[in-house]
Structure 1
Amino acid sequence: MGNKNNYKAHEEIRDAMWKNAESGNDIFGEIIFRKNNKKNYFKSFLKVVSFILIASISGGVTAQYAINKEKSTKDISGGLSPSALVKNRGIADNPILAVSQKVSPTIVGISNKEKGIWDTPEESGSGIIYKSDGFIITNYHVVEGATEIKVKLSNDYVLKAKVVGSDAISDLAVIKVEASNLPVAKFGDSSKLKVGDLAIAIGNPLGDQFSGSTTAGIISALDRKINILNEKTGEQTIYKVIQTDAAINPGNSGGALCNSYGEVIGINSFKINSVIGSEGTGFAIGTNEAKEIINDLITYGKVIRTAIGIYGGTAISVGADGVEGVYVQDVARGSGAAVAGIMPTDIIIEIGGKNVKNMEQLSNVLGKYKVGAKLSCKIWRGGKVKEISIILSELKAQ
């Protein structure tokens, strides 16, 4: 009975407390209801994910901007960023060193004597490794009349060589050693040269004791034409060469003239230089002039040139109208000119549709055709112009 009364009293107190709370009486103070924990965690999670997404997008935009800026820098500086430019400043400041290190392994010494090899410039020359299996380019006069040819590589290893082909007109020759995996020189485009460009000559200027020497200067002139007389035949050869003030001495013949990129743009020739005989003036046969000749020497052992079969070829101007052309002194038997009826004292004024005023222009026209080609020709004879046809023949070595 007592327990029931106590329980009833307890219930009445609880009801009174809730009623007072509902009626606004502040018995326990303000009642505060906590938010649902799951809902709170979900909102926090959304905030974190949103922050990560915003950070990722912002980072991507920043990275793309940096890449575009770096690319722009590369375009302006020729493919090198500012950091790379600083890193490579040593090479840029001394391109001669870089070129020498790159090209020197491809330069060889050449001896044309069995005894006393490389001791003097007269018994030595230089060469450029053209193919890794042993083809080497040099000057014709370096191997002319040689009974035995020896080649010394940059590592001082000596090999016997044989002549593959030679051409006295261009003063070029190709020799070969039995070897493989040799370092090869890279040939550049000599038509892109400009006066004032850096020129670096590498070779053996004064015999074996000065092998691998490097001299430097600039390109002094382009397309120089040098006439050299063959004392044996009386023939004149016109060399189209590069002029440089880089020192080219006797043993340099057949060596490389390089640009600042380490590309061979000329084959040095002291023979041409000796004709001029001037200090600070060196000459090299441009690679664009030499490539076709070199390939002919490797393929055929000789250079196949077209000819019409005349001698002399002196430029002349005659007549009241000032007719200009190539004066014919003599005609080779059985040649295209002889078959066509050309005679001594004729003047060739046009061939292949091109006016010609001298032998150089005539040779340039013939060089565009192959042996066997038939060309129209105009000659001046006895005050009149006569038209004939000539079949081109092969120019025979003198």
Structure 2
Amino acid sequence: MEFNEHNWGSGIKFVEEKKPKRFIRLIGLILIVFFSASIGGILGGYYVKKNYESTSITSDLPNLKTQSTSTLPKNAVNQVAELVGPAIVGVSNNVDTVFWGKQTQGSGSGIIFDKNGYIVTNYHVIDGATEVTVTLSGGKKLPARVIGTDYETDLAILKVNATNLPVAKFGDSSSVRVGDIAIAIGNPLGEEYAGSVTVGVISALNREITVEDRKYKVIQTDASINPGNSGGALCNENGEVIGINTLKISSAEGMGFAIPINEAKNVIDELLKHGYVSRPYLGIAGTFIDKEQAKQYGVPAGVGVQEVERGSGADNAGLRPGDIIVEFDGKRLEKFEDLTETKEKHKVGDIVKAKIWRDGRYLELRIKLGEKMR
């Protein structure tokens, strides 16, 4: 509409803006777009549902809500724990006391190696016990009888009155390599933590350690071995026992030791047959005289004899306190262990030549080795 009534001759015409009609057209356009989008969404949803209903778009991803751990693949540790765990027992060392009756003075672990109730453990676990109790993996407690012990290797055999028990398989410790997986199973700190599994690697082989008057060659591992693990199993990833856990260095983490199972097998056989291990016995107590001491006193280096046990092979051969053994079975003695290691290569009853120094001259004696039954 033109407002001509206020036309002052300027030639300018004021024209009214037609806003309502433009606004209506804009709203209509928006509704058309919205309606079209809605129809497209509905049709698209129907298409997806019809064509992909049976196949989830997350079918390639794990179903975190419904997948059970029982369906996950087992690793080597799972398998070893399930295979060997039931054959590991707790061993309690019980003693009679004057005021408190029967008390438990210590505990450790053991390995069932025969289904009729034969168990191997450490000697120090049952040392001094007046009664030994074994706790099976299911919690059942049984009294145990000591079949035999060996102080030298720290091994002992127990027997419980049971049959068809789960058994651990012994492996071959000579095939173990540094870096191999090592799995320790036992009862650290007692029955409360029965069947604990720790994992590490073989850290070293043929480690020589000395405990009191005993010397061991052991397998070293960083798998955690704690008090109560003694007598338990050190396994490879095939579930074979390659060692018997025996001790750890308390001042360092990750330094545990196990008796190689190949050495333990021979001891186990002897204990089953005789109740003890028959070892060659010389019958002396002595100390090693090194080169510096020998030079100082004007004597040869070797094992200085301090005591001779009456009736022993050394006594019968004529060995005396004050003698110095410089050679044994043809081997020059460079340290005391040379005498022990050479002797251990023989059997009870063997006759061994020994070269000794006495009062400024050398003598040769023939010594018949006796039997040590400790």
Report if TM-score (shorter chain) is over 0.5.
Answer: yes
- Alignment root-mean-square deviation, CA: 2.3
Deviations 1:23-72 (A, max 9, x none): xxxxxxxxxxxxxxxxxxxxxxxxxxxxxxxxxxxxxxxxxxxxxxxxxx
| Gap change, CA 1:256 and 1:377, over 3 Å in 2 | same
Q: Aligned in 2, Cα 1:322/1:283: closer, same or farther, shift over 3 Å? A: farther
Partner in structure 1 of residue 133 of structure 2: 150
1:254 aligns with 2:231: yes
Q: Deviations over 1:60-108 (max 9, x none)?
A: xxxxxxxxxxxxxxxxxxxxxxxxxxxxx945xx211211111101101
Provide the rounded CA distance (Å) in 1 between the counterparts of 2:129 and 2:295: 50
| 1:205-228, Cα deviation, whole Å (9 max, x unpaired) | 021121000001111111111112
For normalisation by structure 2, the TM-score amounts to: 0.73
Tell me what 1:374 maps to.
351
Residue 190 (1) aligns with residue 190 (2): no
The answer to whether 1:96 aligns with 2:49 is no
Please tell me the residue identity of whatever aligns with 2:89: V
Structure 2 counterpart of 1:386? 363
For residues 266 and 326 of structure 1, the distance between their equivalents in structure 2, rounded to whole angstroms, comes to 33
Judging by fraction of residues, say which structure has more strand.
2
- Give the CA deviation at 1:327: 2.4
- The aligned residue for residue 204 of structure 2 is 221
Is 2:340 aligned against 1:359? no
Unpaired segments ≥5 residues, structure 2: 1-71, 97-102
Q: Secondary structure at the match of 1:103?
A: helix
Matched to 2:124, the amino acid is: H
Distance of aligned partners of 1:245 and 1:289 in 2 relative to their CA distance in 1, 3 Å threshold: same
Larger helix fraction of residues:
1
SS at match of 1:247: coil
Question: What stretches of structure 1 of length at least 5 have no aligned partner?
Answer: 1-88, 230-235
Distance 2:201 2:360 in 1: 50
- Aligned twin of 1:267: 244
Q: Displacement of 1:393 after TM fit?
A: 0.6
Secondary structure, aligned partner of 1:105 = helix
- Paired position in structure 1 for 2:45: none
Q: How does 1:68-87 map to 2 (within 5 A)?
A: none
Instruction: Note closer, same or farther for the CA distance 1:319–1:359 as it changes in structure 2 (3 Å cut).
Output: same
Give 1:349 deviation, angstroms.
2.3
Q: Secondary structure at the match of 1:138?
A: strand
Aligned twin of 2:92: 111
Give yes or no for contact 1:121–1:205 (8 Å, CA) kept in 2. no
Deviation of the 1:348 alpha carbon: 1.7
Do 1:306 and 1:367's aligned partners in 2 also have CA atoms closer than 8 Å? yes
- Asked if the contact 1:313–1:329 (Cα under 8 Å) also holds between the matched residues in 2, the reply is yes
Distance 1:309 1:277 in 2: 36
Pair 1:216–1:181, CA change in 2 (3 A): same
Aligned-pair CA distance for 1:315:
5.2
Q: Is 1:346 matched with 2:323? A: yes
2:265 aligned partner? 291
Measured against aligned partners, the alpha-carbon deviations of 1:314-337 in whole angstroms (never above 9, x if no partner) come to 253335999543222221111111
1:179 alignment partner, one of 158, 162, 171: 162
Which amino acid in 2 is paired with 1:293?
V
Q: Secondary structure at the match of 1:224?
A: strand
Deviation of 1:387 after TM superposition, in Å, equals 1.1
Match of 1:281 among 245, 255, 260: 255
8 Å CA contact 2:95, 2:105 repeated in 1: no
Q: Could you state the TM-score of these two structures normalised by the residue count of structure 1?
A: 0.69
CA distance in 2, matches of 1:237, 1:386: 31
Residue from 254, 275, 278 that aligns with 1:304: 278
Amino acid at match of 2:313: G
Q: Which has the larger radius of gyration?
A: 1
8 Å contact kept, 1:245–1:282: yes
Check 1:372–1:114 CA distance in 2 against 1; reply closer, same or farther (3 A cut).
closer
Distance in structure 1 (CA, Å) of the matches to 2:288 and 2:129 = 34
- Give the aligned partner of residue 199 of structure 1: 182
How far apart are the structure 2 equivalents of 1:176 and 1:356? 42
Q: What is the Cα deviation at residue 351 of structure 1?
A: 2.0
Could you tell me whether the CA contact under 8 Å between 2:108 and 2:228 is conserved in 1? Answer: yes
Counterpart Cα distance in 1 of 2:351 and 2:223: 45
User: 1:344: how far off?
Assistant: 2.0
Aligned-residue offset at 1:368: 2.3
